[in-house]
Structure 1
Amino acid sequence: MVIRSTITALATAIALSTALSANAESNLTPVTVGHLVALDMAPLFVGVESGCFEQQGLAVDTRFFANPGDNNAALAGGSLDFNINPFTLPFFAASSGVPIRVVAAAGGWGVMEVIAQSGLDLNSMEDLKKHVDSGGKKLKIAVLQGDTLELIMITELQRVGLSADDVEFIYFDDLLAMVQAFRSGVDILSHIKPYTSEMIEKGTATRLTDNATAWAERAPNTVVSVLQSTLDEKPEVVEALLKGMICAADIINTDVDKAMSLLQGGNYYRVPDAVLKTAFNSAPSPISFSPDVESIQYVVDEMSKLGYIDGKIAATDIFRTGMIESLEQ
């Protein structure tokens, strides 16, 4: 009789616990966020693993895309609530009449890096200039066309007095395929931490430049975007997501070891801990989310010159950073 009563009490407790858990989950607002895998997406990942988003009343479902264009299309089509993508992509959407708006940088500065095969003995863009001027072989550079990874190369080539004609761009539409191409012998790779960090740490690559050098310290790699309708109809959800990311950034900025431990839960980056820590610690400043819009406008002007977007579209037409700037004050 005692055993039966104990079992009944235990079953009742389990049922009550399950009901309470389900009720708690039902009080969370579900949102879907499309993403790639770059270092500046760490606030998204840490936010999920740490409970920062749940504290803001959100149940965040992350969805990986290997191709930024597919990520953009998913947001434009309404199958995502937010996405994190290179900041050039919302401008392509605008050119097609899709009202995608950027509400914040994704989190992290100096994330984009240009690296060269170590055997080329290039340690700067100035070294690349010397190589070209000396009549060296025409080097192949892996980039994503129309993406920040192409635009940083164009900017830095121009800075040292070179042009795209002095090298050979090899265009990709998959970030992971670009890394494999570099490992297979492509001379130069325009890519992102921590994958560039890993190759530099292994001694197979040397660093030539990064986006903080090319544009500005707070020039973003990727940004958080939503449809205008989401901003109009659910501003509280946008604010909750941004607050969750700020919470996650605070963890990374103050205790990087804790952040790395949290990231292991999702196996997000698949690089050694030492490499990931180096990637975080080499940032030019702590993680924050208010981007340098002036530097973005510079890149937008370059995109227009290349014929990628309508020259009438300005950064201020796309970026809506008032909320994040207010939250970060």
Structure 2
Amino acid sequence: MLDITTSRRGALALLLAGTALSAGAASAEEITLGALRLTSHSPTYIALERGYFADEGLEVELSFFESSAAMAVGVAGGDLDYGVTSITGGLLNLAQKGAVKVIGGALAEDPSVPGALILASNKAFEAGLTEPSQLSGKSFGITTAGSSFHYMLSRIAEKEGFAASDMQMKPLQKVGAIVGALSSGQIDAWVIQPSIAKRLIDEGAAHEIGRFSDYDPSYQVTAIFTSTGIAEGEREQTEAFLRALSKGVADYNAAFVDKTASEDDVSELTGIVHKYVSVDVPDDRFAKDMSEGSMRINEGLALSTTSVQAQMDWMQAEGLVSDEITLEMLVDSSYVDTM
């Protein structure tokens, strides 16, 4: 015989549980996060898929971009809440206008870990371009003036004793376009993170002629940033975002950089990243890219302000940004652990 009292209690319990779930969903803060389909953005995908953002009460929507410059504009314009980008002239100009703030560090050169590689096209290599000292007069791929690629070229040129202006810089806007230009011999050289560089080398599309860490061993490649309005007005949300992303960083470094994670963990994390990055690449090739081509991302999203200042000084010396821009205009030090 059906116990009506028990049934009513069960129905009430289900109703209360459903109400609690609805309230929890409604209370989650929705944020939009900019991303590039690169392995350097792996912590974002790990934090999302492993529920670290959700654990902090954040519901994250990803918005994908082809370049860091476009992402910076998206944050400044309010289309994005947070982003991960290189320190570019565009970002500094937006900071001077009071639109954006850097709140953490991300990808970085580490002399103990293989970093960005300097590549020569097959055509240029066969013509004698076999080391960075021979880059003067050659063509070099960048996205835009003032980009990370432009900066890296300048550091190589400085140490090798020639001016970056002695090279033919080819602004191709997108990483994919530079890959195509290098592979087809339309440009002579490029410098890029190892996950992309090693694949080009293995496929016979380019040759390694140097390592960027020989020119700037502490280069802060990318940083975490947000709008000034969010940095100043949404502290709890921003701190929650950084905590969640930091957990993704820790998982990423353990699996792919420090090699301290279990095989099962590495396999799981590789699968997570592959859902978002190089989806057309076979699983075994992508696993090799992650294992052999992952650069360090700063634990706790610490930021090398020394490197950021050096990049700013270079842009100012090149006339790419105003001399009036200061580190304080760019970085919100209340969020950042410096190194």
TM-score (norm 2): 0.80
* 1:188-224 residue CA offsets vs partner (Å, 9 max, x unmatched): 123344322321232322234455443233x222211
Matched, 1:312 2:310: no
- Aligned position for 1:325: 337
The verdict on how the C-alpha distance between 1:234 and 1:130 changes in structure 2, with shifts beyond 3 A counting, is: closer
Q: Indicate the SS of the match to 1:323.
A: coil
The verdict on how the C-alpha distance between 1:36 and 1:267 changes in structure 2, with shifts beyond 3 A counting, is: closer
Which stretch of structure 1 is more off in the superposition, 104-113 or 172-181?
A: 104-113
- AA of the residue aligned to 1:103: I
Unaligned runs of 5+ in 1: 3-9, 133-137
| Matching of residues 48-63 of structure 1 within 5 Å | 48-63=48-63
Contact in 2 for aligned 1:112/1:149 (Cα 8 Å):
no
Unaligned runs of 5+ in 2: 3-9, 255-260
- Aligned position for 1:269: 278
- Aligned position for 2:73: 73
Contact in 2 for aligned 1:197/1:279 (Cα 8 Å):
no
Give the Å deviation of 1:317: 2.8
Contact in 2 for aligned 1:142/1:170 (Cα 8 Å):
yes
* 1:71-127 residue CA offsets vs partner (Å, 9 max, x unmatched): 1221111121111121224202134x13311011234546644322245449xx982
Looking at structure 2, the residues matched to 210 and 241 of structure 1 have their Cα atoms a distance apart, in angstroms, of 33
- Aligned position for 1:251: 251
- Aligned position for 1:179: 179
Looking at structure 2, the residues matched to 84 and 322 of structure 1 have their Cα atoms a distance apart, in angstroms, of 18
- Aligned position for 2:38: 38
- Aligned position for 2:119: 115
- AA of the residue aligned to 1:267: Y
Looking at structure 1, the residues matched to 55 and 327 of structure 2 have their Cα atoms a distance apart, in angstroms, of 32
- Aligned position for 1:169: 169
Contact in 2 for aligned 1:83/1:224 (Cα 8 Å):
yes
| Matching of residues 15-164 of structure 1 within 5 Å | 21-88=21-88, 89-95=90-96, 97-107=97-107, 109=109, 112-118=116-122, 120-121=124-125, 127-130=131-134, 138-144=137-143, 145-164=145-164
Contact in 2 for aligned 1:182/1:188 (Cα 8 Å):
yes
- AA of the residue aligned to 1:258: E
Looking at structure 1, the residues matched to 325 and 138 of structure 2 have their Cα atoms a distance apart, in angstroms, of 33
Percent identity, aligned pairs only? 18
- Aligned position for 1:5: none
The verdict on how the C-alpha distance between 1:64 and 1:171 changes in structure 2, with shifts beyond 3 A counting, is: same
Give the Å deviation of 1:29: 0.9
Aligned residues: 313
**Superposition CA RMSD, Å:** 3.2
